[in-house]
Amino acid sequence: MTTIGWVRHGITDWNLERRAQGQTDVPLNETGRAQARALAERFRNEKWDAIYASDLSRAKETAETIAAALNVPLHLDERLREMACGKMEGTTEDERIRMWGEDWEDMELGIESDESMLHRGMAAVEDICLRYPGKRVLAVSHGALIATLLPALVPDMNEKEHLHNTSVTLVRQLNEAWVCDLYNCRRHLDAVNL
């Protein structure tokens, strides 16, 4: 059955500033590029058949670094983009409180719903499984999308730890269900001073 290795993109300056990135096209910083290289080196010793990635540059560059090391096809897919954060994109929590008050989370700010993310994420998963049945495929995406999609794929999953940049989470199709074999792994970062 198909295995999907979910990878969160490398770190950006906005990650460090705790700014909502959403679908704003924020590039990797130098640390993010080093994380992507470390991840590519880790994957050199593993068998992967293809990579799918969000078309936003932070995920795309992470995926391109891996694809070049593994010499596998790379497919860009906008359905793997981060949650659209509407008016809060580019802001920090303090800025949101200043602009909209303590109850900003209850306001209509044009933020994409979990249902919308699930719909597009599951459609991408179905396409991956149809195109690469029984193969091993990496999917380079974003924290909110992956965190929303995983419990839908693996309903008995109890892991709640925040997904780290360039972490790897492996899910495998088993008959009609999915199982999680590895969650939020970042052992590849031990080899570099990040």
Q: What is the pLDDT of residue 177?
A: 92
From the CB of residue 58, how many other CB atoms can be counted at a distance below 10 Å?
A: 29
By annotation, the residues acting in catalysis are: 9, 82
**Dist. CA 174–CA 26, nearest whole Å:** 36
In tens, the pLDDT along 74-131 reads 999 999 999 999 999 999 999 999 999 999 999 999 999 999 999 999 999 999 999 9
pLDDT at 166 over 60: yes
Q: Which of 51, 72, 73, 50 is nearest to 63 (CA)?
A: 51
The two tokens of residue 69 are 């090391």
Domain residue ranges in the chain? 3-191
**139: which strand partners?**
6, 52
Band (pLDDT 50/70/90 cuts) for residue 175 is: confident
The Cβ-side half-sphere exposure at 53, using a 13 Å CA radius, reads 25
For 56-121, the DSSP string reads: SHHHHHHHHHHHHHHT--EEE-GGGSPPP-GGGTT--HHHHHHHH-TTGGGS---PPPHHHHHHHH
pLDDT at 194 over 60: no
Phi, psi (5° rounding) for residue 84? -75, 125
Q: What is the pLDDT of residue 193?
A: 59
What is the CATH code for 3-191? Answer: 3.40.50.1240
pLDDT at 1 over 90: no
Q: What is the pLDDT of residue 159?
A: 83
Band (pLDDT 50/70/90 cuts) for residue 176 is: confident
CA angle 150, 155, 161 (to 5 degrees): 50
pTM of the model: 0.95
